[in-house]
Structure 1
Amino acid sequence: MRSLTVNRRRPLSVALALAAGSVLLTACGSGGGVAAGQNAVTPQGPGPKINIGPDQHRIHGEKDAKAAALVPARVRRTGELRIGVGAGSSPPLSFYATDDTTLIGVEEDLATLLADTLGLKPRFDPLSWENLFVGLDSGKLDAVLANVTVTEERKEKYDFATYRLDQLAMEARKGSGWKVRGAKDVAGKTIAVGTGTNQEKILVGWSKENEKAGRKPVDIKYYQKNSDTYLALQSGRIDGYFGPNPSAAYHVNAAGRTEIVGTFSGGGNSVQGKIAATTKQGSGLVKAYAAALQKVIDNGRYGKVLARWGLTEEALKTSEINPPGLPRTTN
Structure 2
Amino acid sequence: MSARPHTLRRPTTYAVTVLALVTSVALTACSGAAEASNAAAPSAAAAAPVVNTSPDQKRITATKDEAAAALLPQAIRVRGTITAANAGAGGGTPPLVFTADDDKTVIGVEVDLAHLFADKLGLKVETPATSWENVFLGIDSGRYDVALTNVTVTEERKEKYDFATYRKDDLAFEAPKGGTWRVTGRKDIAGKTIAVGSGTNQEKILLDWNEANVKDGLAPAEVKYFQSQTDYYLALASRRIDAYFGPNPSVAYHVSTAGQTEAIGHFSGAGDSLQGLIAVLTKKGSGLAKPYAAAINSAIADGSYAKVLARWNLSSEAVTTSEVNPPGLPKTS
TM range (shorter): 0.7 to 0.9
* Letter paired with 1:193: V
Q: Which residue of 2 aligns with 1:60?
A: 61
**C-alpha contact 2:296 2:322 (8 A) present in aligned 1:** yes
Q: Which residue of 2 aligns with 1:80?
A: 81
Task: Count matched residues.
Answer: 299
**C-alpha contact 1:43 1:254 (8 A) present in aligned 2:** no
Alignment of 1:91-102 (within 5 A): 91-102=94-105
| Runs of 5+ unmatched residues, structure 2 | 1-20, 31-42
Q: CA deviation at 1:289?
A: 0.6
CA RMSD of aligned residues (A): 2.5
Change (3 A) 1:117 1:25: farther
Q: Which residue of 2 aligns with 1:19?
A: none
**C-alpha contact 1:45 1:252 (8 A) present in aligned 2:** no
More displaced stretch, 229-238 vs 257-266 = 229-238
In structure 1, C-alpha distance between the alignment counterparts of 2:305 and 2:294, rounded to whole Å? 13
Q: CA deviation at 1:195?
A: 3.7
In structure 2, C-alpha distance between the alignment counterparts of 1:258 and 1:142, rounded to whole Å? 39
* Letter paired with 2:285: G
In structure 2, C-alpha distance between the alignment counterparts of 1:59 and 1:145, rounded to whole Å? 17
TM-score, with length taken from structure 2: 0.81
**C-alpha contact 1:166 1:272 (8 A) present in aligned 2:** yes
Q: CA deviation at 1:292?
A: 1.0
Identity %, equivalent residues: 58
More displaced stretch, 241-250 vs 103-112 = 241-250
In structure 2, C-alpha distance between the alignment counterparts of 1:142 and 1:194, rounded to whole Å? 32
Q: Which residue of 2 aligns with 1:186?
A: 189
**C-alpha contact 1:162 1:321 (8 A) present in aligned 2:** yes
In structure 2, C-alpha distance between the alignment counterparts of 1:152 and 1:123, rounded to whole Å? 28
Q: Which has the higher contact order (CA 8 A, sep 6+)?
A: 2
* Letter paired with 1:194: G
In structure 2, C-alpha distance between the alignment counterparts of 1:276 and 1:198, rounded to whole Å? 18
* Letter paired with 1:186: I
Match of 1:254 among 242, 250, 257: 257
**C-alpha contact 2:170 2:266 (8 A) present in aligned 1:** yes
Q: CA deviation at 1:299?
A: 1.6
**C-alpha contact 2:54 2:102 (8 A) present in aligned 1:** yes
Q: CA deviation at 1:32?
A: 4.4
Change (3 A) 1:196 1:278: farther
Q: Which residue of 1 aligns with 2:245?
A: 242
Q: Which residue of 1 aligns with 2:136?
A: 133
Match of 1:108 among 106, 111, 127: 111
Change (3 A) 1:29 1:94: closer
Runs of at least 4 residues of structure 1 off by over 4 A? Answer: none
Match of 1:272 among 250, 272, 275: 275
1:31 aligns with 2:32: no
Change (3 A) 1:186 1:131: farther
Change (3 A) 1:280 1:225: farther
1:311 aligns with 2:304: no
**C-alpha contact 2:48 2:258 (8 A) present in aligned 1:** no
| Runs of 5+ unmatched residues, structure 1 | 1-23, 34-41
Q: Deviations over 1:78-119 (max 9, x none)?
A: 432211213243222211111111111111111001112222
Q: CA deviation at 1:325?
A: 2.0
* Letter paired with 2:25: C
Q: Which residue of 2 aligns with 1:50?
A: 51
Q: Which residue of 1 aligns with 2:173?
A: 170
* Letter paired with 1:71: L
Match of 2:93 among 90, 95, 107: 90
Q: Which residue of 1 aligns with 2:35?
A: none
Change (3 A) 1:167 1:46: farther
TM-score, with length taken from structure 1: 0.81
Q: CA deviation at 1:177?
A: 3.8
Q: Which residue of 2 aligns with 1:142?
A: 145
SS in 1 for 2:111: helix
Alignment of 1:185-224 (within 5 A): 185-224=188-227
Larger Rg computed on CA atoms:
2
Identify the structure with the greater helix proportion. 2
Change (3 A) 1:25 1:209: farther
Change (3 A) 1:29 1:121: closer
